[in-house]
Amino acid sequence: MAEQAQIGVTGLAVMGRNLARNLARHGHAVALHNRSQARTDALVAEHGDEGTFVPSTSMQEFVASLERPRRVIIMVKAGGPTDAVIEELAPLMEPGDVIVDGGNALFTDTRRREAELRKADLHFVGTGISGGEEGALHGPSIMPGGSAQAYESLGPLLESIAANVDGTPCCTHVGPDGAGHFVKMVHNGIEYADMQLIGESYDLLRNGLGMAPGDIANVFRQWNSGDLESYLVEITAEVLGHADHDTGKPLVDVITDAAEQKGTGRWTVQSALDLGVPVTGIAEAVFARALSGHAEQRVAARELPGPSGNWGLSNSDAFIADVRNALYASKVVAYAQGFDQIRAGSEAYAWNVNLGAMATIWRGGCIIRARFLDRIREAYDKRGDLPSLLVDDYFTEAVGQAQASWRRVVAGAAQYGVPVPGFASALSYYDGLRAQRLPAALTQGLRDFFGAHTYRRTDKDGTFHTLWAEEGRPEVSTD
Ligand code: 6PG
C-alpha cells in the first residue's frame, strides 16, 4: 500500500507548488498531481527533502494515495479549468471526502459547485488564499467556506500552515458554501482601494510637491513605522526606491502607467451594486485602473485646459503630513465600506460571518495585512453590530483628527489638478454618511414628478404621490 497522504494538491504552478511545500514542511504527507507530469517530478526533485511528498502520475493514483476522508486542494485557474478538474476528480471521491478550491473563484460559482457536489455527499470548500507566492510558502491568510463538518477535518491542516499573529492562525471557518470566496473577493476589493489611495498619495507628493521617487520611498518608510504600518505601504517604499537596471532611472518611471486587473475588484463592485452597499473607494479604484488603460482617449485629452498639478508649496513637511492624514482617513473609509459589504453578503446569504474574526485573520499573511486591522478587530469585538467602523470611538477620533488635512488635500488637488478619486470619494462618503439631510429628498420628488414613483414623508407613515398634472397638485396616499 503506497504511503497514505493526509492531503493532496492538484495544480502545481507556483501557488500550488508552494502550498504543497508549506504543507510538507509542517509534517503533513502531501499527495501531488499535475496535468503535466514534469511539474510533479520537478517539485519532488527540487524540494523532496522538505517533507513527505506522494507523487502520482494520474488522477486515479492521486486519489488512491489519500487517507480517508480524502482532502484535495485544487490550485488551477478560476472558471473553466476549475470545473474541468472537479469533473475529473469528483467521480473518484467517496461520500465525506473534501474538495477544496484554493483559487480566486467567483463566490457564486462556489455556491453552485458546493450545492452540486453536496448531492454526492462530497464537501466542497471554496477557500480564499491570500499572500501571493511567498504567502503560500511561508504562511498565507486562509479564508475557507464550506460546511462546518468539512472544516472539522480540514481546518487544523490549514491553520497549521497559515500565517500566525500573536499565536492566532490567520485562518478560520468563514461560513458556509461561498462565504470564503466572498470574503476573499472583498479582501481583494479593499486591496484595490488601498493601492489606489497609495497611488494618489504618491501622485500628490510626486506631482504636487515635485519630490523624486527615492525621496517618496523614504516618506513611505517613515509612514510604515506608524499607524499606516502595512504590507502595501512597506512594498511601496521598495518599488519607489528601486532603480531600473537598464536605464538607471526610477523603475516607476519606466513602467507603463496603465493598470491591469484580473477581475476580483470588479466582482466586488458588481456584488456591492446588487447588495446596495456603497463601496465607493473600491469602485473608484476599479474605474481608475480602467481610465489608466484608455490610452487613445488619454492622448486625445492631454491638451485639455487645466492646472499643471504642481502646488508650488514652500512647506513640504506640512503637506506631507496632510497627505499622510488624508491617506489614513480614506483608508478607514475603504475598510469600513468593505466590512459593510461582508456584513451585507452575510445577511443576504445567511452565512453569519464574524467581522471581528475576518479582521483577525487578515492581520497576517494577506496582501492587506496592516497594524490597524487590530483596531478593526477590537471595534467589532467590542460591538458586533457596529453600524459602521467610522462610528467606533477609536476611528471617530482618528478620522476626526485627520479631517482638516483631508479636506485641504482634496480641495488642493481639485484646485491644482491632481486626480484623487479615492481621497475625494472617501471624503464625500464620510460627509454623506454624517449629513443631517441629503438631496435624496429632491431625487424622490423628481422621481414622483416624472414617474409617479411615490415618496415617504418625515411627518407621517406611508407612501404618497403628488398629482403633479392636476389643479392645485394635491397629494394622495398610495397605501
Ligand atoms: C492575494 C492577491 C492575489 C492576486 C491579486 C491580483 O490576495 O494574494 O490579491 O489574489 O495577486 O488578486 O489581482 P489583480 O490582478 O486583479 O490586481
Using CA atoms, how far apart are residues 131 and 138, in angstroms rounded to an integer?
9
Mean pLDDT of the chain, nearest integer: 97
Residue 339: pLDDT over 80: yes
Residue 435 Cα to ligand 1 midpoint, Å, equals 35
Instruction: Report pLDDT for 293.
Output: 98
431625487: which residue's cell? 443
496632510: which residue's cell? 322
Closest C-alpha among 274, 277, 239, 244 to residue 387 = 277
Phi, psi of 9 (to 5 degrees): -125, 125
From the candidates 184, 200, 284, 331, give the one annotated as an active-site residue: 184
480524502: which residue's cell? 70
Residue 183 Cα to ligand 1 midpoint, Å, equals 13
Give per-residue pLDDT as tens, 375-430: 999 999 999 999 999 999 999 999 999 999 999 999 999 999 999 999 999 999 99
Q: What percent of the chain has pLDDT over 90?
A: 97
Taken in order 223, 227, 231, 233, the sign of the CA dihedral is negative
Instruction: Report pLDDT for 23.
Output: 98
Using CA atoms, how far apart are residues 232 and 423, in angstroms rounded to an integer?
17
Cβ of 191 less than 6 Å from ligand 1: yes
- 61: amino acid identity, one letter: E
Instruction: Report pLDDT for 310.
Output: 82
Residue 291: pLDDT over 90: yes
493598470: which residue's cell? 259
Using CA atoms, how far apart are residues 22 and 202, in angstroms rounded to an integer?
35
Cβ of 262 less than 6 Å from ligand 1: yes
pLDDT band at 2 (very low <50, low <70, confident <90, very high): low
Work out which ligand 1 atom sits closest to the CA atom of 263. 16
pLDDT band at 315 (very low <50, low <70, confident <90, very high): confident
Mutational pocket test of ligand 1: of 19, 104, 190, the residue with most ligand atoms within 8 Å of the beta carbon: 104
Which residue has the least CA distance to atom 6 on ligand 1? 262
Cβ of 194 less than 6 Å from ligand 1: no
Give per-residue pLDDT as tens, 61-95: 999 999 999 999 999 999 999 999 999 999 999 99
Residue 377 Cα to ligand 1 midpoint, Å, equals 23
* Higher local confidence (pLDDT), 168 or 312: 168
Work out which ligand 1 atom sits closest to the CA atom of 141. 7
Residue 104 Cα to ligand 1 midpoint, Å, equals 8
Mutational pocket test of ligand 1: of 101, 196, 262, the residue with most ligand atoms within 8 Å of the beta carbon: 262
Residue 179 Cα to ligand 1 midpoint, Å, equals 18
Using CA atoms, how far apart are residues 449 and 156, in angstroms rounded to an integer?
60
Instruction: Report pLDDT for 208.
Output: 87
- Rg (C-alpha) for the chain, rounded Å, is 25
pLDDT average, residue stretch 217-235? 97
Residue 477: pLDDT over 80: yes
pLDDT band at 294 (very low <50, low <70, confident <90, very high): very high
Using CA atoms, how far apart are residues 298 and 293, in angstroms rounded to an integer?
9
pLDDT band at 3 (very low <50, low <70, confident <90, very high): low
Give per-residue pLDDT as tens, 352-362: 999 999 999 99
Residue 44 Cα to ligand 1 midpoint, Å, equals 27
Cβ of 405 less than 6 Å from ligand 1: no
pTM of this structure: 0.96
pLDDT band at 309 (very low <50, low <70, confident <90, very high): confident
Instruction: Report pLDDT for 217.
Output: 98
pLDDT average, residue stretch 337-341? 98
Instruction: Report pLDDT for 318.
Output: 95
- What does the H/E/C string look like for the chain? CCCCECEEEECCCHHHHHHHHHHHHCCCCEEEECCCHHHHHHHHHHHHHHCCEEECCCHHHHHHCECCCCEEEECCCCCHHHHHHHHHHHHHCCCCCEEEECCCCCHHHHHHHHHHHHCCCCEEEEEEEECHHHHHHHCCEEEECCCHHHHHHHHHHHHHHCCEECCEECECCCCCCCHHHHHHHHHHHHHHHHHHHHHHHHHHHHHHCCCCHHHHHHHHHHHCCCCCCEHHHHHHHHHHCCECCCCCCEHHHHCCCCCCCCCHHHHHHHHHHHHCCCCHHHHHHHHHHHHHCCHHHHHHHCCCCCCCCCCCCCCHHHHHHHHHHHHHHHHHHHHHHHHHHHHHHHHHHCCCCCHHHHHHHCCCCCCCCECHHHHHHHHHHHCCCCCCHHHCHHHHHHHHHHHHHHHHHHHHHHHHCCCCHHHHHHHHHHHHHHCCCCCHHHHHHHHHHHHCCCEECCCCCCEEEECCCCCCCCEEECC
From the candidates 191, 200, 284, 331, give the one annotated as an active-site residue: 191
Which residue has the least CA distance to atom 5 on ligand 1? 188
Residues 6+ apart with CB under 8 A from 310: 207, 208, 209, 210, 416
- What nine digits make up the cell of 428? 464625500
Instruction: Report pLDDT for 311.
Output: 83
Residue 147: pLDDT over 80: yes
Give per-residue pLDDT as tens, 262-272: 999 999 999 99
Residue 1: pLDDT over 60: no
Mutational pocket test of ligand 1: of 14, 264, 369, the residue with most ligand atoms within 8 Å of the beta carbon: 264
Instruction: Report pLDDT for 180.
Output: 98
Which residue has the least CA distance to atom 13 on ligand 1? 262
Instruction: Report pLDDT for 238.
Output: 98
Cβ of 104 less than 6 Å from ligand 1: yes
Instruction: Report pLDDT for 177.
Output: 97
Work out which ligand 1 atom sits closest to the CA atom of 104. 10
Residue 191: pLDDT over 60: yes
Any catalytic annotation for residue 191? yes
Residue 285: pLDDT over 90: yes
Give per-residue pLDDT as tens, 149-188: 999 999 999 999 999 999 999 999 999 999 999 999 999 9
Any catalytic annotation for residue 184? yes
pLDDT average, residue stretch 338-349? 98
